[in-house]
Amino acid sequence: MLRLGLPAIAGLAIFALIASLVISATRSPSIDLRSARVEDGKLIMDNPVLNGTDENNRPYRLTAIRAIQDASDPTRIVLESIDAILPVSDTAKAKLIAGGGEYDASAKTLKLADSVSVDTDEGMKIRLLDADIDINAGTLNTLNPVEVDTGQALLTAESMQVQDRGRKIVFESRVRVTLYPQAAKDEQEQGR
């Protein structure tokens, strides 16, 4: 059960966290525009802050060092040093950190790059080098190494695909799962 369940849970967590960010961003959040300026035909905001709620009225917060929007391609926004607190459930949150990203409003895509980490309140740690998210299709893809540490198991793979809005998750190439039976036993005993 753990061999099949842990990879599925890890993949669903990744998709849920990133989908929460993307879906939330389309729900009229409040944006602090005090540091906006125009340089060389680009709108630049230092330390932008995005606050809002998701479709279940759970709060989220996204910050970045800079956001850059080119006037020649206004549907694309480049984000530098992303830091977000996202709802995973009604009681749990996750912290997402990425070195950078690019959101394309017309294509409804989000590309996260430069090392992506997701840490949940429940102790799950997810590490990706990058992630390509297609919001309309409900997919997430990375062709680079993935690492998911649940505290009870460690899953690594060379690539990952999340399809059909998280209903199908595929880890490919050199997939390895290391189980920590003592950690699972300790957690089970604490739950009683």
Per domain, the residue ranges of the chain are 2-191
Closest CA relative to residue 161, chosen from 135, 136, 131:
131
Distance in angstroms (rounded) separating the CA atoms of residues 79 and 66: 6
What pLDDT score was predicted for residue 185? 63
Q: Which stretch of 48-57, 103-112, 141-150, 154-163 has the lowest confidence by average pLDDT? A: 48-57
Find out whether 105 and 87 touch, Cβ atoms under 8 Å: no
What pLDDT score was predicted for residue 35? 65
Find out whether 153 and 180 touch, Cβ atoms under 8 Å: yes
148-184: pLDDT as tens digits:
898 888 999 999 888 876 677 889 999 998 988 776 5
Higher pLDDT, 21 or 179: 179
- Here the tokens at position 109 are 């895509």
Find out whether 160 and 176 touch, Cβ atoms under 8 Å: no
What pLDDT score was predicted for residue 7? 46
- pLDDT of 22 strictly over 60: no
- pLDDT of 127 strictly over 90: yes
What pLDDT score was predicted for residue 157? 95
Q: What is the pTM of this model?
A: 0.72
What pLDDT score was predicted for residue 10? 47
What is the CA 113 to chain-centroid distance, rounded?
Answer: 11
Distance in angstroms (rounded) separating the CA atoms of residues 79 and 67: 5
Neighbours of 139 (CB within 10 A): 18
What is the CA 72 to chain-centroid distance, rounded?
Answer: 28
- pLDDT of 78 strictly over 70: yes
Q: Which stretch of 18-22, 63-67, 95-99, 133-137 has the lowest confidence by average pLDDT? A: 18-22
44-53: pLDDT as tens digits:
888 888 777 7
Distance in angstroms (rounded) separating the CA atoms of residues 39 and 190: 56
Find out whether 126 and 118 touch, Cβ atoms under 8 Å: yes
Distance in angstroms (rounded) separating the CA atoms of residues 64 and 165: 26
